[in-house]
Structure 1
Amino acid sequence: MLTHLSVLEESAARYHSSPVFKVPTSSSADSFNWRSITYQQFKDDVELFARHWARVLKRDNIPQRSIVGLWIGGFAYTDALHIYGISRAGYIPQLFSLRLPNPDVILELLQKSNARALVCDTNAESIIGRSSITVYSSISLSDLVVEDEPLPTLPAVNADDLAFLFHTSGSTSGSPKLVPCSYRWLDAVVRKSYQTCAPVNPNSDSSRDVTTWLGSMCHIGQTFMFIGTLQHGASMVQPSKMPFSSQELMDMIRLTGLNRLYQFAAFLSTHLRVSRQDPKFLSMLASLDQVLTCGMPLSREDEQWAIANNLRLVNLFGSTEAGGATLLSSFKRGSNPSHLIPLEGVSYRFDPIQSSAADKDLHQSTSKLLEFVILADSADCPDVSLRHADGNFHTGDLFQEITPGCYVFCGRDDDWIKSENSLRCDTRSIEENVRATCGNLVSECIVVGTGRPSPAVFIEPAVDIVDENKFKKDILRKIRPFHSRRYMHERIASDNMIIIVPRGSLPRTASKGNIRRKAVEEEYKNLLDKIYGVSV
């Protein structure tokens, strides 16, 4: 079986002196610099971390194959060392990003998985409090004391054994769901990422590829793209912050040789807005071998602008449960980036949905909609705990078949939306909580926020409002306990995100009178841009 560790071992031998990371050394508002870390150095550092954690965990009687939680940012070089190092020490990483800031939820999820320890970012350790499991602080390379601790021997595993524990990027019933990942699933991730990150110019030296960090290593997107990057001897530029500015992107292209841009759609849209006013920046984007976008479709306006200006757009579609990518548009120049085809070596099906689910008021289409299903015999099919009663994984993602075997994404058959970093948010649960806690104040409500940092709620009040500011603060106070358990991208944390509109004014469907989420986002786009501080 192929794993992230076997990939690192092979790539370090093959590309030992090539850079795998370019990490920031200094930055200012208008100047950025990076230094390179080679494949061999990364492997050596991973093994140092493995020796350290083997010594520490063995000292505290925590055996190999135990689950060890990691509550870290996932954006730094040392975060990658923690994840790979603990895995190389023979343990099973359970990954949490700092975007899930509630320690009670972290501890509950650790208890569900029977984890034996938790490694915390130094900024998070102080809020954990008392715990039934052992808690450690994350370390830096300068903190390592490995003495004569040998590199541990990896325990024997089979295809069904647990390799990682991720979590859904959105909360259900007050908490994300566990996403157990087997070695069979991980092998599929390695094979799919190899296809996704294959050199655009196969006749050139593939080690010249330089890509961007996509997101947190604690989520599947960055984990997937990094494994693909490793297999082709490419390097990955770590930005000074996420999301990074267009100025920093220009410096990446100029100083690091960046030739493949990986970006969530909302972040890429920001760069495209800048490119409309900056011909030099637009020219630099057009010079890239690939601009890969994922998480959600680009707006039609952005996509047309990019195509018209010769950007080599590629669209990737995937999910945490399915191990990152599942569908990909063609690398060929001139191909439609919205037209997606399944990756090789998988077993998928597209099932017609019942006509009642394809509500025309919601989808605005008379074409037949198909639900994307990952079949049980596909190596990337999620754990049985996440599958439907028929044994398959029903994604809830809807498509239309444009030509045989080629599909266009048409939204979801539920009330989930994706934030700007493409993490998921259950709008229905927020709306139900507003109705349950504020029912005497609220006539109707709708949550929006597709492609935004966090959600906002539009409220049609049930009472006459004397003081709107006080009304909004009352709403916020009542819903605060519910939101305290959620990811940062799922929270309504400010009364600025509570928008009061006249009763009956929100756009509704003609057939059922339901408020139309997408229509609200379109009608109030300028107001939402102002609230979120979007510059036009």
Structure 2
Amino acid sequence: MVPVHLSALNTAASRYSELPAFKLPQTDLEGRVTQWSVVTYRQFQDDVNRFARHWADRLLMDGVCPKSVVGLWLSGMAYTDVLHIYGLSKAGYIPQLCSLRLDNADIIYQLLHHSAAKALIVDPSKATSLSSSPVPVYHAITTEEAALSSPFSLPEFADPLPSDTALIFHTSGSTSGSPKLVPCSYRWLKSMFDKSYQVLHPKSSVRKDVISWMGSMCHIAQNFMLSGALQHGSCFVQPTTLDFSSQELVEMVKQCDLNRLNLFATYLSRHIRAARTDCALSQMLSGLDQLLSTGLPLPREDEEWAYSNGLPLRNVFGNTECGGMLLSVGSDEPQENCNPRLLRSLDGMAYSFVPIDQPHNTETSHQSTTRMLELVVCANSLDCPDESLCGADGCFRTGDLFNEVKPGHYIFRGRNDDWIKSENSLRCDTRAIEDNVRATCAHLISDCVVVGSGRPSPVLFVEPLDEAANPTKLSREIISRTRQFHVRRYIHERITSPDMVLIVRPGSLPRTATKGNIRRQLIEEEYKDRLDTIFAKRR
């Protein structure tokens, strides 16, 4: 049996050979898009085969055998990054996907060590930082270089077992100074295709969808969406950047026939807000088949405006360990159900919503809308992640909380821990940052808290020990003392500038009445204008 992702590519290349699989931006010297070039499904398959032959030949020559883990340290945003991932799989290797947002080579080496990787393929921009690599390092290649490679017949491989590892992701936030490995089996990968088939099911049976590219292939979201697109013969349009302008969106609709806008909620919110003062943009968005958001809930005011103006919103909820899990009811449902916050489980999976004030169990029952329920992936669910990420009972506890407003329909209510999600929906452990500040700056601060939900990076609020302390000097001193901690973390988790440290009066941060804990969410709301100003200056 051919692995599901390679089988899906083969089928798509056969059924939709001359249809576009990707539309890639071509830019002028000033970075403006002049046109989008087309890659057909046949060309996509041919390119994957060329990359597979190149890397099989090169790696085997150096003694790196099939079924070995091979690290890929890439942006995940280029078409050639897709070719490296699928090409390595076809050559019989296990891709380990490392994002460039994790830009510390020592952490990459640590992750490769944990997976027993035998080689590392890197973006050319990282080549000079890998002088002490414990494994052989290769530069990522272009399609032109792959075409020049000598012909090489791929060896035959035994069919993989469902439990065999297909690829390796990493958690999108750091724990104890490093992300965790997320090994993904072929069984798990099959569940991604089952679920993404549902999420990306076309609205029209007479045309193929054209969908916006939404993120790095080194993270789960874009991989998940690609698996759905392959099954439906859809096309991805790649923007110049993830936070592309509304003008570029208009061009993607006009030039590329974009009809489904898939974006992380923070980015989608910007287009909705622009549409509130631009009638043409509002009409264009309402004419799309779907506006799919993920990562974070849309701000309530954006959601309500979008619905009142006929924008076809939908929301998918998921995580790195399981991919997409819950999908909001669609426009084909009764009007009272049309709400991107109202979620239900995708078909074919086994989830439990467990009251957080009761022992964990796998029994599901209707609960009061005031009861907080944690989403738990049952051990028998096809998308249950690797046992290294699960509890003793084999279940995976997500830490995500919901209310059940009616049987089988849920509203997301945040997390049961101190993690927040950044602008691109990657996670950040606020407690770890706060603990480091308290440990390194105990003689300088009275208390501190980290905020930044939906922001490009976190911000540290500090109540100084000495009310007369100079705010500028204190901010700089805190950055100096915590620098080594932050250099090991993802870019979106770091606080590396004094501008991101806000000194406030001792005791001024809002706290709970009972335990006196600082209220993170309330700070986000009370200091919203100040946070907006900080990030406006950094763009």
> How would you bin the TM-score normalised by the shorter chain?
over 0.9
Worse-superposed segment, 429-438 or 23-32: 23-32
Name the amino acid aligned to 1:114. Answer: A
Residue 366 of structure 1 and its aligned partner are, at CA, apart by 8.2
Instruction: Choose the corresponding residue for 1:38, options 40, 43, 59.
Output: 40
Residues 482-522 of structure 1: per-residue CA shift (max 9 Å, x gap): 00000000000211100000001011111111000000000
Partners of 2:467 and 2:519 lie apart in 1 by: 24
Aligned length: 524
Does the 8 Å CA contact 1:372/1:399 hold for their aligned counterparts?
A: yes
Q: What residue identity is the alignment partner of 2:134?
A: S
Partner of 2:434: 431
Specify the code of the residue in structure 1 equivalent to 2:166.
A
Q: CA deviation at 1:356?
A: 12
Kindly state the Cα deviation for residue 345 of structure 1 after the two structures are TM-superposed: 0.6
> Residue 193 of structure 2 is aligned with which of 190, 193, 204?
190
| Residue 24 of structure 1 pairs with residue 21 of structure 2 | no
1:483 to 464, 483, 486: 486
Match of 1:257 in 2: 257
Match of 2:68 in 1: 66
- Corresponding residue number in structure 1 for 2:6: 5
Deviation at 1:156, TM superposition (A): 2.4
Distance in 1 (CA, whole Å) between partners of 2:463 and 2:179 is: 30
505-514 or 26-35: bigger deviation = 26-35
Alignment equivalent of 1:102, drawn from 101, 104, 109: 104
- Secondary structure of the 2:400 match is strand
The reply on whether 1:444 has 2:447 as its aligned counterpart is yes
Looking at structure 2, the residues matched to 177 and 29 of structure 1 have their Cα atoms a distance apart, in angstroms, of: 36
461-470 vs 472-481, which moves further = 461-470
* 1:470 equivalent in structure 2: 473
Counterpart CA distance in 1 for 2:418 and 2:60 is: 46
Corresponding position of 2:341 = 338
Secondary structure of the residue aligned to 1:250 is helix
Q: Which moved more, 1:518-527 or 1:3-12?
A: 3-12
The CA RMSD over aligned residues, in Å, is 1.7
For residues 358 and 527 of structure 2, the distance between their equivalents in structure 1, rounded to whole angstroms, comes to 30
TM norm structure 2: 0.95
Q: Which amino acid aligns with 1:102?
A: N
Cα offset, 1:151, TM superposition: 3.1
CA contact (8 A) 1:55 1:146 kept: no
What's the CA shift for 1:463?
1.5
CA contact (8 A) 2:266 2:423 kept: yes
C-alpha deviations, 1:207-266, integer Å up to 9, x for none?
Answer: 2x1001010000000000011011100100011122211111110011100000000001
Counterpart contact for 1:71–1:118, Cα < 8 Å? yes
Q: Does 1:402 align with 2:405?
A: yes
Q: Deviating runs (4+, > 3 A) in structure 1? A: 27-32
CA distance in 1: counterparts of 2:248 and 2:459, whole angstroms = 29
Q: What secondary structure, in the 3-state scheme, does the structure 1 residue paired with 2:342 have?
A: coil
Is 2:165 the partner of 1:162? Answer: yes
Pair 1:287 & 2:287 matched: yes
Aligned equivalents of 1:197 and 1:375: distance in 2? 24
In structure 2, the partner of 1:219 is: 219
Q: Equivalents in 2 of 1:424, 1:68: separation in Å?
A: 25
Shift of residue 129 of structure 1?
1.8
- What SS does the aligned partner of 2:463 have? strand
Residue in structure 2 matching 1:82, options 81, 84, 100:
84
Q: Is the 8 A contact 1:213 1:237 kept in 2?
A: yes
SS of corresponding position for 2:162: coil
Q: Give 1:148 shift.
A: 2.4
CA contact (8 A) 2:55 2:91 kept: yes
SS in 2 for 1:340: strand
Q: How big is the shift at 1:270? A: 1.2
Partner residue in 2 for 1:231: 231
- Distance in 1, matches of 2:158 and 2:97, equals 21
Task: Find the aligned partners of 1:185 and 1:153 in 2 and give their Cα distance.
Answer: 23
Summarize the Cα distance change of 1:17–1:526 in structure 2 as closer, same or farther, 3 Å threshold: same
CA distance in structure 1 between the partners assigned to 2:350 and 2:369 by the alignment = 28
- Partner SS state of residue 108, structure 2: helix
CA distance in 2, matches of 1:435, 1:466: 17
| Paired residue secondary structure (2:258) | coil
The answer for the alignment partner of 1:422 in structure 2 is: 425
| Cα displacement string for residues 359-390 of structure 1 (whole angstroms, at most 9, x for unaligned residues) | xxxxxx98111110000000100000000122
Amino acid at match of 2:290: Q
Q: CA deviation at 1:31?
A: 5.0
* Alignment equivalent of 1:494, drawn from 482, 497, 506: 497
* Pair 1:389 & 2:392 matched: yes
> Could you tell me how far 1:154 is from its partner in structure 2?
3.8
Is 1:505 equivalent to 2:515 in the alignment?
no
Aligned AA for 2:370?
S
Q: CA deviation at 1:26?
A: 2.0
CA contact (8 A) 2:123 2:140 kept: yes
**Counterpart secondary structure, 1:54:** helix
TM-score by length of 1: 0.95
Letter aligned with residue 80 of structure 2: T
Give the corresponding residue for 1:361: none
Displacement after TM superposition at 1:466 (Å): 4.4
Percent identity of paired positions between Structure 1 and Structure 2: 53
Gaps of at least 5 residues in structure 2 are: 361-367
Three-state SS of the structure 2 residue aligned to 1:533 is: helix
For residue 449 of structure 1, report the CA deviation from its aligned partner: 0.4
Instruction: Kindly indicate whether the alpha-carbon contact (under 8 Å) linking 2:461 and 2:501 is maintained by their aligned counterparts in 1.
Output: yes
User: Structure 2: how far apart are the matches of 1:229 and 1:185?
Assistant: 18
User: Is 1:325 matched up with 2:327?
Assistant: no
Contact 1:64 1:155 in 2 (8 A): no
Aligned positions of 1:299-378 closer than 5 A: 299-322=299-322, 324-333=323-332, 334=335, 335-354=338-357, 367-378=370-381
2:353 partner letter: F
What residue number does 1:132 align with?
A: 134
CA–CA distance in structure 1, aligned partners of residues 395 and 358 of structure 2? 21
Q: Is the 8 A contact 1:75 1:215 kept in 2?
A: yes
Distance 1:371 1:487, change over 3 A: same
Whether contact under 8 Å (2:294, 2:317) holds in the other structure is yes
Cα distance in 1 for partners of 2:242, 2:491 equals 14
How far off its partner does 1:410 sit?
0.5
Partner AA of 2:62 in structure 1: D
Amino acid at match of 1:214: M
C-alpha distance 457-356 of structure 1, shift in aligned 2 (>3 A): farther
Rounded to whole Å, the distance in 2 between the matches of 1:124 and 1:441 is 37
Check conservation: 2:71, 2:120, Cα contact below 8 A. Answer: yes
Decide whether the 8 Å contact of 1:341 with 1:406 is kept in 2. yes
Give the stretch that moved more between structures: 123-132 or 442-451.
Answer: 123-132
* Partners of 1:350 and 1:320 in 2: CA distance: 19
The whole-number CA distance in structure 2 between the counterparts of 1:355 and 1:343 is 25
Q: Could you say what secondary structure the match of 1:169 adopts?
A: coil
Distance 2:480 2:283 in 1: 49
Distance 1:48-1:356 versus aligned 2 partners, 3 A rule: closer
The Cα shift of 1:191 comes to 0.7
